[in-house]
């Protein structure tokens, strides 16, 4: 384990509002009566069953066992909630717990909108923005659709899917977006997307290999797959130098850029550009074949140990100040 403060003691790191507290109690009750069941898994990258424990709880104090694969270094929830448990969690507790409000709002929507601008800027920086007459952008896990709204304003055709009915309804009713409830297993598209977006969604997927196989079925020769996720090796910058603040129970995987490249490479996708934030873009290779896996175990363990030591000496406060100033600047860019 990273340190004793990651033990399952029900102590939360965050200050929660009354709605969030009720969600924590509700989730704990469902875990206690085994309505939310857990299952052991093998590593999605290398199929190993040899793991080292990192944590037993998340930032909300919820039971959340997190382990690292001793062979390839992929960090993952294990055991994790079953598919049926996660589906109920996303429909009933996820947004209320994470956002702290029980209904979508304009503020939430335009938070997504600003993310859309950053996705656009990343792709433009790497010269991989889709071009042509109304390129088609398809977002998986779109929430209320704010990211797609930004792309639509730039002249793109857009469509999104998600599991949260109320947030989808907000984007449909307030902004006229083309959004549907569902996942890749039950969606059919009339044409190949020019851009597929996973913004803080890929880390929620239960079966990465099945998901990537379905993505392959959607990809045309020019399709770009954009994946943004909380970077395991970005904790020092984004999460106040605190790994516990980074951990949250809905995330089934925690990627470094290397482990993300490992799972995409295994499925025939090549990295075009990316960083440890994580913002990344991939493209299906002309002759898809599994790429060699490079272990990230030692690097990840060293990074987590250093971050925990620095957290002990309150280096995170300096990072918090820097990030606050950066967030203010970003709003006026």
Range of the domain at 88: 4-331
- pLDDT band at residue 128 under the 50/70/90 scheme: very high
- 116 pLDDT more than 50: yes
Beta bridge partners of residue 69, listed in sequence order: 51
The pLDDT tens digits of the residues spanning 24-41 come to 999 999 999 999 999 999
What is the structure's pLDDT at 313? 73
Which residues have a Cβ under 8 Å from the Cβ of 5 and sit 6 or more positions away? 244
Of the chain, the percentage scoring pLDDT greater than 90 comes to 79
Alpha helical stretches, state H, the chain: 18-32, 83-92, 94-99, 106-125, 146-153, 165-175, 208-218, 235-238, 243-246, 257-266, 297-312, 316-331
Q: What is the average pLDDT score of the chain?
A: 91
What is the structure's pLDDT at 185? 86
Question: How confident is the model over 206-224, as a mean pLDDT?
Answer: 95
The pLDDT tens digits of the residues spanning 265-294 come to 999 999 999 999 999 999 999 876 777 889
What is the structure's pLDDT at 109? 95
What is the structure's pLDDT at 323? 55
Between CA 250 and CA 64 the distance in angstroms is 9
What is the structure's pLDDT at 329? 39
Between CA 249 and CA 12 the distance in angstroms is 12
- 53 pLDDT more than 90: yes
Show the tokens assigned to 152: 């639509």
Predicted TM-score of the model (pTM) = 0.90
Question: How confident is the model over 291-310, as a mean pLDDT?
Answer: 92
Q: How many CB atoms lie within 10 A of CB 74?
A: 31
Q: How many CB atoms lie within 10 A of CB 326?
A: 10
Q: Report which of 211, 194, 199, 296 is spatially closest to residue 255, judged by C-alpha positions.
A: 296
Asked whether 281 and 275 are in contact (CB, 8 A), the reply is: no
Using the structure block, give the residue that is written with the tokens 């093998």.
42
The pLDDT tens digits of the residues spanning 173-184 come to 999 999 999 888
Counting the structural domains of the chain, the total is 1
- 68 pLDDT more than 50: yes
Show the tokens assigned to 310: 């620095």
Find the CATH number of the domain harbouring 202: 3.40.50.150
Concatenated DSSP letters of 161-220: EES-HHHHHHHHHHH---EEE--GGG---SS--SEEEEES-GGG-S-HHHHHHHHHHH--
Instruction: Please calculate the CA angle 217-232-321 and round it to the nearest 5 degrees.
Output: 125
The pLDDT tens digits of the residues spanning 144-190 come to 999 999 999 999 999 999 987 888 999 999 999 999 998 888 888 98
- 59 pLDDT more than 90: yes
Instruction: Please calculate the CA angle 17-20-24 and round it to the nearest 5 degrees.
Output: 135
More confident: 139 or 316: 139
The pLDDT tens digits of the residues spanning 69-109 come to 999 999 999 999 999 999 899 889 998 999 888 788 899 99
Show the tokens assigned to 300: 């990840």
């Amino acid at each position: 384990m990273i340190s004793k403060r990651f033990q399952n003691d029900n102590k939360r790191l965050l200050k929660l509002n009354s709605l969030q507290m009720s969600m924590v109690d509700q989730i704990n009750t469902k875990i206690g009566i085994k309505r939310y069941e857990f299952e052991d898994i093998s590593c999605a990258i290398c199929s190993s069953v040899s793991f080292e424990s990192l944590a037993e709880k998340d930032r909300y104090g919820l039971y959340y066992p997190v382990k690292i694969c001793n062979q390839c270094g992929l960090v993952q929830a294990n055991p994790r909630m079953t598919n049926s448990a996660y589906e109920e969690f996303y429909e009933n507790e996820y947004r209320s717990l994470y956002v702290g409000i029980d209904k979508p709002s304009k503020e939430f929507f335009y938070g997504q909108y600003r993310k859309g601008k950053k996705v656009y800027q990343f792709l433009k920086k790497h010269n991989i923005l889709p071009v042509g007459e109304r390129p088609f952008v398809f977002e998986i896990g779109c929430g209320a659709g704010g990211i797609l709204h930004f792309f639509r304003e730039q002249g793109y055709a857009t469509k999104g899917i998600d599991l949260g009915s109320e947030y989808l309804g907000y984007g449909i009713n307030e902004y006229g977006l083309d959004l549907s409830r569902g996942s890749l297993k039950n969606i059919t598209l009339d044409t190949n997307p020019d851009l597929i977006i996973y913004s803080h969604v890929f880390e929620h997927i239960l079966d990465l290999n099945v998901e990537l196989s379905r993505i392959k079925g959607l990809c045309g020769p020019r399709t770009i797959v954009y994946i943004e996720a909380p970077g395991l090796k970005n904790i020092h910058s984004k999460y106040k130098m605190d790994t516990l603040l980074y951990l949250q129970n809905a995330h089934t995987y925690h990627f470094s850029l290397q482990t993300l490249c490992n799972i995409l490479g295994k499925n025939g996708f090549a990295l075009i550009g990316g960083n440890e934030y994580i913002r990344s873009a991939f493209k299906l290779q002309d002759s898809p074949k599994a790429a060699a896996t490079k272990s990230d175990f030692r690097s990840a363990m060293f990074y987590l140990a250093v971050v925990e030591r620095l957290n002990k000496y309150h280096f995170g406060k300096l990072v918090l100040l820097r990030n606050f100033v950066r967030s203010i600047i970003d709003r006026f860019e």
